[in-house]
Amino acid sequence: MAELEKRAWWNLWVAVGTVALFAALWLVTRNVAASTGAFGILGLSAVPFFRFRQPASDERDRDIDRKSMLAAMSLFWALIVIGVVGMGLALGWNTLVRVPVWAFSGAIWGGWVVISTAKSVASIRMYRAG
């Protein structure tokens, strides 16, 4: 397995672990704000960058990295557009809403999870395909 494919698997497990921990905390505490603490483990995505010896990458790795990032950002962009339009249509474009802080921070963390998951899955698929 290529070194950068291993990194993609690592990021995928970090993202899946984050969602699982968030769900577990919510089930136990029934407190969404407290459960957002689970997003802290997203920091584990940085672990591979602390390796003394960084894995060698070549043109194929860079090609896969570029394409997987494009796929992830496309999905993220589609979700943003759907979310924005959906909210506008569901709530009314001139409606004032009060949003708790956890919803705002959770949306940012959630966006990171979406991008990280989509990029990892796309990378793994491309490495598997050749």
Partner 1 sequence: MPGKGQVVRNNIRRLRFDAGEMTQEQLGKLAGVTRHTIMAIETGKYDPSLLLAFRIARAFGKGVEDVFIFDAEPAAS
Binding-site ranges for partner 1 (CB under 8 A): 2-3, 56-61, 127, 129-130
Half-sphere exposure of 26 (CA within 13 A, CB side): 12
The SS3 of residue 59 is helix
Between 3 and 25, CB nearer to partner 1:
3
Q: From 66, 60, 84, 78, select the one nearest 114 (Cα to Cα).
A: 78
In whole angstroms, the minimum distance from the beta carbon of 95 to partner 1 comes to 48
Between 113 and 126, CB nearer to partner 1:
126
The SS3 of residue 95 is coil
In whole angstroms, the minimum distance from the beta carbon of 45 to partner 1 comes to 22
Long-range CB contact pairs, 30-34, < 8 A, 24+: 32/102, 32/106, 33/100, 33/101, 33/102
In whole angstroms, the minimum distance from the beta carbon of 36 to partner 1 comes to 38
Between 2 and 16, CB nearer to partner 1:
2
Between 23 and 70, CB nearer to partner 1:
70
In whole angstroms, the minimum distance from the beta carbon of 9 to partner 1 comes to 14
